[in-house]
Structure 1
Amino acid sequence: MIGVILYGAGLGMFGLLMRSNWSALEREVETLAGTLHDSLKPLLPAEARPSAQLAAVLPGLCLAGDPCPSPPSLISRHAVSVTDPERFYLRLLDPRGVLIAHSPGSPSQSPRAQAEHLGPAWSVVVGPGGERSMQYSIHLHRSHTPVHSGAKARELDWGYLQIGRSLRGLDAERQRLWWAIQTIVVLALLVAGLASWWLSGLAMRPLLVAYRQQEQFTADAAHELRAPLANLLGVVEAHRRQPPDDAVARDQMLAAVHRQGQRLSRLISDLLLLARLDGPQSAAAVQPCSLTQIARDLLEETSEAAAEAGLTLKLLDVEEEAEIMGVESELYRLVSNLLLNAIQYTPRGGEVVLRLGRERSQVVLQVQDTGIGIAPSDQQRIFDRFYRSDPGRSRRQGGTGLGLSIVAAIVHRHRGQISVASNHGFGSVFTVKLPMVGGRILEDLRVAGNT
C-alpha cells in the first residue's frame, strides 16, 4: 500500500510538472506568434505566393520549391526566426494551406515528418530523427490601404503563419524527471520497508512477551491443577486397598480429599478472578469506597489468623478520609491478600503493621512485616502468576501462588501503583498508591468499563 501511494503520488507530481512546463511553452509560442503576426502584417505582398517580394520580408526565408540552405551568418539566422534558430522555425502558407515559404531546418519539409494534431491550432511534429516540435498555426492578415482617404482601413486574410518550438529540452527534462521519480520511489520503498520491519519488530515485542507469559501461565496452571488432582487420585487409590471397615483410614482419606478439594477450589476461584480482572470493568460496579473502613474490617477478620500464627497485627497512621473510586469487593481482596501474604511469610513472634495515609491526591496503603524478606533477584518476579519465593512454605500453607498477582491486577485496574521494598531476612514493605475520589478518576473507570 505504501508503494502504491508513493508511486501514485510520484506519477501525479510528474504529470503536474510536465503540464506546467507544457503550458509555459504554449504561452511562449503564442506570444512569439502574435509578435510576428503584427510585424509581418504591413510587409506582406498582395498575393500569398512564392515571390521575391515575399523573400524580402524576412532575410533568409526560403521560398517553396527553392533550395533552402542554412544562412551562413548569425545575423541572417536570427532575422529569419526572430529568436534562437535552434529552437524555433517559421512556415508561411496560402489560404488553401499550401506551403509558400519556410525557415531553414523546418521539420515539416522532411518526407518522413509526422504531425499529431492536438487541436485546431496546435500539433506536435516528429522529425526524421525522432525530435519533436510543438507547432502553432494562426491566420495571417495583411493591412489594406483604402483608395479613398475617407474609407476605413481593412485587414484582409492573407494565409497562415505556423511557428514551431523544439521539444528537445522538454523531452530531456521529461526523461530526467521520470528516472528521478523512479529512483526516489524505489529508495522510499526501501526505507519504508526497513522502517516497517523495524517498527513491526517493536510492535511484536510486547505481543511475543505476552505470548510467552501466556504459555508460561498455561503450563503453571496445568502444573498447579495436576498436583492436587494427583493427590486426590492417590488418596482414593490407597483407600480402595484398605479394609472397608477401617474407620480411621476412611476419616484420614476424607480429610485429605477435603484439603485437596479446598485447594483446587481456591485455585480455580483465583484463576477466575484473574480472568475477570483482565477483562473490561463494569461501570455500574464503580462507587466511592472507604479504604479506612475496609482496612479496619479486614484487620478484625485476619486477627484470628495472626493470633494462630503467633503474630502481632497493628493498624497505624490511619487516614480517616481515605476514600477512592473503585469496586469494593476487589479492594477487599487487595488488602486481604497483602495481609495474608505478610502473615504467611512472617515467623512466630513477628509483627505485621498496616498503615493508611495520604500523599497529595493519593491514598497510600502500606503493609509492613518482619518476615523472611525477599531476595533482590525475586523482587521483580513476585507479582508474576504462580511465582513463589519460597515454594515449599507456600504450598504447605495452602497458597496458590496467585495472591500478589491478583493484588497487582487490582491495583492496575484502579489506576494505581504498587511497589515493594525488602531486605532478605529483615522483612518487607508493600506500598500501594491509589487515586482519591475525583470526577476524572470516575470517568476514566467508566470509560475503561465501557470499552
Structure 2
Amino acid sequence: MFNRSRRNLARWFTLSMGSILIMFAGTLYYQESLQQLEIIDSLLYKKARVITGNVKYRPHQGQEQVFLGNVPLLGNNPPPPDSEVVYARWYDAEGQLKRFFGQIPPEKLRETFEFQTIKLSNDEDSSSSTVIWLRQITLPVQHNGQIIGYLQMALPMTRAQETLRRFLLLLVFTVLIALGLTSLAGWFLGGLAMLPIRHSYQQLQRFTANASHELRAPLAAILSNAQVGLLAPIDDGATKHLRLEKTVEVAKSMNTLIGNLLFLARRAGCLVPESLRYFDLSDLLEELLDSQTIKAAAQHLHIKSDLPKHSIVINADPDLLRQAVMNLLSNACKYTPQGGKVELRLFTEYGQVVIQVEDNGIGIPAEDLPHIFERFYRVDKQRTRSAGGFGLGLAIAQQIVAAHDGHLSVRSQVGQGSLFQIELPLT
C-alpha cells in the first residue's frame, strides 16, 4: 500500500516537473529559432546592401537610367566561388524583371515582402526530390526618395537548420536526463513524505495487534467458565442457563472478531516468502466446496461450481486464498434467501486467473458498493449484527487478494444478487 502511494507520488511529481521542463525546453527552442532567423536576416540584409551600393543611377540620352554593370552577381563580373547566394534578381520600379543570377525567376514581381521563408524543391530526378529552405529578402532601392528598382535575393537556411537540430538534440537529452533525476528525486521525496504516515500506521497496527492479543486471554476465561456452567443441570435455573448460553455466543463472536483483527494487523499487505508455493487452484476450490463449513452455510441453497478439468497452477499462499474465497462464499450464502443459488467459477482470461462467486440474493445498494471493502462497514447493520458479522470478511478478502498483486471487484443489483470477482496474475 505504501509503495503504491509512493509510486503515485513519484509519478505525479515527475509528470508535473516533466511538463514544466518540456514547456521550458520548447520556449528555449523557440527563442533559439528566432535568434537564428535574426542572424540569417542580418547577413542577408548586409549582402543586399553591398549589392545595392554598387547600383549606378545616372542620366543617359537625356533620361535617368539604372546601370548594373559593376553590381556583384548581377553585373559583368562572374560571382565569387564561395558565394552562398542562391539567386539574385533585379526588378525595375514597375516590377519587371531586368537581370538575374541563379534560378529563372518570374517575369513580374508579385510580392514586396521584405523578408520571406521560401521552400524550394529540386525536381531534377522525379524519384528523389530535395527540399531546400531559403530565406529571401526583397529590398526596394531608392534614389533621391524615388524607388528605382527592387533587389531580390536568397540565402540557404542549411546552417541555421543544422544549428537548430544540434540544439534540439541537446534539449532532448537534457530533458531526458532531467526527467530521470526528477523521477529519482520524486521517489526519494515520496518516501520522506510517507514516513510519518507509515510510522502512524505501524503504531496503529501494533496497537491493534497488542490489544487483540491481550483481549484473547480474558475472553478465553469467560468462554471457558460459561461452558462449564452450561454443563450443570438446568432444574430451576433456566434463566441462568439462558444467560450462560448468551455469554458463550457473545464470547465466541468476540473471539472471531479478535482473530480477524489480529489477521488484519499482522498481514497488512505483505506475504511471507516461505508461505508461497505452486499449487493447483482448481483442486483447492474443489476441496473448499467439500468442506463442512461451506456445506453447513449452504444447507438451504443450491451451490454449483464451474471449475476447469485441467490444472491451473499459480504461485501463492494457498491458506490465504482459501480464506479469501471462503469469506466470499460464506457472505454469498448468508445473504441469499432459502432456495437461492450460489455459483463458484474458475477460468483464465488475458493472462490472469479469475475466480467468481455469484449469487441471486438480496444484492447490495449502489450507494454502498464503494464502501463494502472498508473495515467494519455493514450495509444492513441490524441484519449483519444478528447474523454475527462485524464487516471484516470482505476487508480480509480484499487484503489477501491485494497482497497477491490481484484485484477484487463486485457487481451487484438490489433484488437480483451479486457477483464478486478475484483476478490474480497467472504465473
- Name the TM-score class by shorter chain: 0.3 to 0.5
TM-score, normalised to structure 1's length? 0.44
TM-score (norm. length: structure 2): 0.46
